[in-house]
Amino acid sequence: MAFSFRPPVNVQPPIFVMVAGGTNTGKSFSSLLLARGMVGPRGKIAVLDTESGRMANLRRHHEFDMDVMQPPFTPSLIAEAAEAAEADGYGALVVDSMSMIHVGPGGYRDWHRQEVERMCRGDESKAIAMDYPARKKPSLDRQAMLYRLLQRRIPIIFSCRAREMTEKKGMEIKKIGWQPVIHPEFIYDMTVGLTLTPEDGKGVIRHRAPFKIEKDLAEAFRDGDMITVQHGEAIMDIMRSSAAPAMAFHVTRTDGKVLPFPSIQAWAAWWDRPIESASPEVLRALRVANGPAIGEYAGSYPDVIESLEERLAAAIAGERPEVAEAA
C-alpha cells in the first residue's frame, strides 16, 4: 500500500442515515428529501436502486442520477457503489432498498443458506451443526462493507423495508412493533436511524425503538415532525460544526504531488491552466485523482464545483480553441 501524506482538510465523521418503513410510509421520498438537504439545491444525488428501478417513479419530484443493482446483492458491492459515487463527485448517496443485502438473492441470509448447504454436502442432518460456521463468509463480507463505508466522506442514506413483528406468549400472539429488515447491528452504526409506521402517516418522525439519533441532532429531529429538506440541512450543519477545522484545500496532480491552497477560490483558480492547455487524457486523470476532494467540497461550495465540473467537461470534450499537452 502506498501512503501519501497531505495537508489537513475539513474532515467530518461519516454520516449514515437509515430511514426504515413499511409499505406506503414515505421512506424513499423522505430519504431523497434528506439527501437534497445535505447536498443543497444544486448538489448531485446518486441513487442505488436494488428494486428493479422503482425509484425512477420519484423523478417527477426529485432530481437524481440512478443505477439499478442486479442480484446477487452481496454486501461489499454496496461499498463499491459508494466509492464510485464519491469518486464521481456526488454529494450524497441513497441506497433503496438496503434490505436487499439482508434478504435479497445473494444477500446475507441467502449466502448463509448456500454455505449451510455446501457444508452439509447433501446430509441435511448436519444443518443445525453447520448453522454457525456457515455465517463466517457472509458476516466477514458485511463487516468489510461497513469498514469501507466508514472511509467515505459523502453522506449515505439507507432506505430499508420494515415489517410489523409479533411474538407468541402462551396462546396469545402480540404485536411488538415495526422492525427494519436489516441485520440488527446495522442501526448502531447510524448517525440517525428512523422507523416510519403506517399509523403515524408518511414521513413522520417518532422517538421510539428501533430509533437512534446522536445527541447533537436530537433537537433537530423532534418527535412528531415530518421529514423535510431542512432535516438534511441540519445534519450537515451540525456534523460540520463538530469537524476538524479546515487548514487547506488541495489538488492532486497527475504525478501524485499534492498542492495546498488557503481558500476554495485559490483552489478553483489553479484549474484554469490545465483546463486551458492540458489534453483530454490529462484532464480525465486529474478528474479521477481529485474526485474525492471535488465531492467533499461540493456540499459547501456548490456553485464553485458546478462551474468547475462544466468547464472540465467542456475541455475534455475539446470545446476550446487550442488543446495541447500539459507540461
Where are the domains positioned within the chain? 16-241, 249-316
What is the value of pTM for the model shown? 0.71
Over residues 16-21, mean pLDDT:
95
Bridge partner list, 45: 92
The DSSP H or E segment spanning 272 is helix 272-277
What is the reported pLDDT for 55?
93
Over residues 91-114, mean pLDDT:
94
pLDDT over threshold 80, residue 251: yes
Cα dihedral 258→261→265→268 (10° resolution)? -10
Lowest mean pLDDT among 115-124, 168-177, 185-194, 302-311: 168-177
In percent, how much of the chain has pLDDT > 90? 61
Number of CB atoms found within 10 A of residue 228's CB: 15
Average pLDDT, rounded, for the chain: 88
Asked if 30 contacts 200 with a C-beta cutoff of 8 angstroms, the reply is: no
What is the reported pLDDT for 326?
38
Question: Which pLDDT band holds residue 155 (cuts at 50, 70, 90)?
Answer: very high
In percent, how much of the chain has pLDDT > 70? 91
Sign of CA dihedral 253, 256, 261, 267: positive
Question: Which pLDDT band holds residue 174 (cuts at 50, 70, 90)?
Answer: confident
pLDDT over threshold 90, residue 165: no
Question: Which pLDDT band holds residue 259 (cuts at 50, 70, 90)?
Answer: confident
Domain 16-241 sits in CATH 3.40.50: yes
Q: Quote the cell numbers at residue 48.
A: 442505488
Residues 6+ apart with CB under 8 A from 198: 22, 23, 24, 25
pLDDT over threshold 80, residue 137: yes
